[in-house]
Structure 1
Amino acid sequence: MKVLPARRIWVKPIAAASAAPHKVSQLRPRVLLPWLLPLLLLAVWQIGAQSGWIAPRILPAPTAVLQAGAHLIQTGELPRHIAVSSGRALVGFAIGGGIGFLLGLLNGAWPIAEELLDSTVQMLRTIPNLAMIPLIILWFGIGEEAKVTLVALGVFFPMYLNTYHGIRTADKGLKEMGRVYGLEPWTLFWRVIFPGAVPSILIGLRFALGMMWLVLIGAETLAADSGIGFMTTTAREFMRTDVVVLGTLVYATLGKLADLVAKGLERTFLQWHPNYQNTARF
């Protein structure tokens, strides 16, 4: 009896082929969903302004705000104020965030440094940032130094606390395993303790980026001769509600961009972290 050779039968991977379109169909609603409520609020705002429910001197229509923004862009005033405010925010963030990060590493890693410095830092943390404005104006005037100092103070504490917390709460099992394998203290810190603290540090970075703009708003509104806060304060004196609303929306947009930067850093540096894999969102 002749035995025929076995033939390979190719079966089209239907499930695999249909998985990608199904994933794309799920991705689209999740991308559009965060914008649903803002667009709905804009529609209600526009309808209310056009129908007269909202007085223009209280809250002008979105179209009027857009017209004001277009005019300020044409004159170059809005880009100049945005550039000035962004420069202040970034310089203050670099100074305050850098110092907070380094001090958090120091106090988290060395108990002696914690005993010497942490209590003082915690006492300073209880002082509201805006309460420091009169004193800082006495020290630095209303120049750039005053506003940069306020931003630096605002971002210092979120970076310090989260860095300190991340270092102190590193996995004790991993640290013990590193000691068993004979890792030197410096190697143990950079290869075991610091990577374990990265999620907490990035949370501090996200809080600091948000605090950066909050403090800058107060600093520029009370004492400034340029920037978005100065633009809105001047517009308030001339009853230009559309420009005031425009400045508020610019602050909100810049804050959202800073938050997107923080999320991008989380996706870049936390791909290895299992908790991030479970909670990551599109």
Structure 2
Amino acid sequence: MPPMTDTRARGDALASRQPSRHSISPPRTARRDPLRAWRIAGLALPFAALVLLEVVVRRGWLPDHLVPAPSEILDTLARMGIMRVARHVGASTLRVAAGFAAGAGLALVVGAAMGLSRRIDALFEPTFQALRAIPSLAWVPVLLLWLGIDEAPKITLIAIGAFFPVHLAVVAGIRDVDRKLVELGAVYRLGPLALFRRILLPAALPQIVTGLRTGLSLAWMFMVAAELIAATRGLGFLLSDGRETGRPDLVFGAILLLALLGKLTDGAMRRIESRWLGWRDAFDGASREGGK
């Protein structure tokens, strides 16, 4: 074989061993979730509790006039019909959405002002401490006198419930920002708005999101009290109606729907939290558990 032909053959063989830039690389193996079994167990746990409750009630170990069997609760909801259940769920959800938006929005503004200014905090903090101690049901007669019996007092009561946890989280989040970060912003000559947007807000965001989740859960709790105000529709109305008519299946059916709605909305907030705070490199317990 001539030298030129031999060199070309060795070059072709070497090129055949090297992967092409356009070749498709083998798919990477999916990263195994170490908590997958625990997550599945967490989802199965409430269903196992319902099955156990069904057995306990059916065997007569627990009086069914106090705690109905889960199958009876589901049968009650099924006999109500999808449209009727949807009307009650929709009415409560709209009230929670409106009240949470109003209360959390106002809390973000007021909390930011109090967190950034010691003077504003000293002016308003004593009043907010006193208002925060008032139980939800104590607001009901006041709101009835001021706003009547329409939707306004219901939404206002829900807004009150959502306001305080968000307000506390915003103030605490801003006050807990590391002073060195603020001094770094001063070194770079950031203005007040740029300092808030680029340093204070990102650093305080984890606590703010936690406050929003807490405020949303309290909004659902205050919704039940709000729907005691001359409501004719909603899950709080179903609770009151079941109590007055002596129907525990209706009461527990409303409680079941409240639990499902609370879980769904909190799950949505957790998705928002993971999207907003995906940049964090925070401790989540995995390293400690992995070392065991």
Q: Quick check: TM above 0.5?
A: yes
Matched, 1:136 2:152: no
Counterpart of 1:34 in structure 2: which amino acid?
G
Aligned CA distance change for structure 1 residues 192 and 22 (closer, same or farther; 3 Å): closer
The answer (yes or no) to whether the contact 1:210–1:259 under 8 Å persists in 2 is yes
Could you say which residue in structure 1 is the equivalent of 2:73?
A: 65
Question: How far 1:256 sits from its partner (Å)?
Answer: 0.9
Matches for 1:231-270 after TM superposition, within 5 Å: 231-270=238-277
Query: Distance in 1 between the 2:127 and 2:245 partners?
Result: 45
- Distance in 2 (alpha carbons) for counterparts of 1:20 and 1:57: 54
Rounded to whole Å, the distance in 2 between the matches of 1:37 and 1:53 is 21
Partner of residue 230, structure 1: 237
Q: Is residue 2:162 matched to residue 1:155?
A: yes
Deviation at 1:18, TM superposition (A): 12
CA 1:58–1:18: 2 relative to 1, 3 Å: farther
Q: Which runs of 5+ in 1 are unaligned?
A: 11-16
| Structure-1-length-normalised TM-score | 0.87
C-alpha displacement of 1:19: 8.6
In the other structure, the counterpart of 2:7 is: none
The equivalent of 2:3 in structure 1 is: none
- 1:46-195 aligned within 5 A: 46-74=54-82, 76-195=83-202
Q: What letter corresponds to residue 174 of structure 1 in structure 2? A: L
RMSD: 2.7
The 1:130/1:44 distance shift into structure 2, 3 A limit, reads same
Distance 1:236 1:83, change over 3 A: same
Taking every aligned residue pair, what percent have the same amino acid on both sides?
34
The AA in structure 2 aligned to 1:141 is G
Unpaired runs of at least 5, structure 2: 1-9, 19-25, 288-292
Structure 1 residues 111, 220: CA separation in 2 closer, same or farther (over 3 Å shift)?
A: same
Compare 91-100 and 133-142 and name the one that shifted more: 133-142
Q: Give 2:44's aligned amino acid.
A: L
String of CA shifts for 1:19-76, please: whole Å, max 9, x gaps. 946715x3531320212321221111111122122222111211111111112124x2
Please say if residues 100 and 160 of structure 1, whose CA atoms lie closer than 8 Å, have aligned partners that are also in contact.
yes
CA distance in 2 between counterparts of 1:215 and 1:98 reads 17
Partner SS, residue 207 of structure 1: helix
Change (3 A) 1:66 1:49: same
Distance between the aligned counterparts of 1:43 and 1:159, measured in 2? 37
| Equivalent position to 1:220, from 221, 227, 230 | 227
The one-letter code sitting in structure 1 at the alignment partner of 2:197 is W
Greater displacement, 94-103 / 57-66: 57-66
CA distance in 2, matches of 1:225, 1:175: 52
What per-residue deviation string (whole Å, max 9, x for no partner) do you get for residues 62-109 of structure 1? 1111111112124x2211111111111111111111101110111111
- Structure 1 window deviating more from structure 2 (225-234 vs 86-95): it is 225-234
Cα displacement string for residues 195-226 of structure 1 (whole angstroms, at most 9, x for unaligned residues): 11100100100100110011111222464222
Aligned mates of 1:250, 1:267 — CA distance in 2: 26
- Paired residue type of 1:198: L
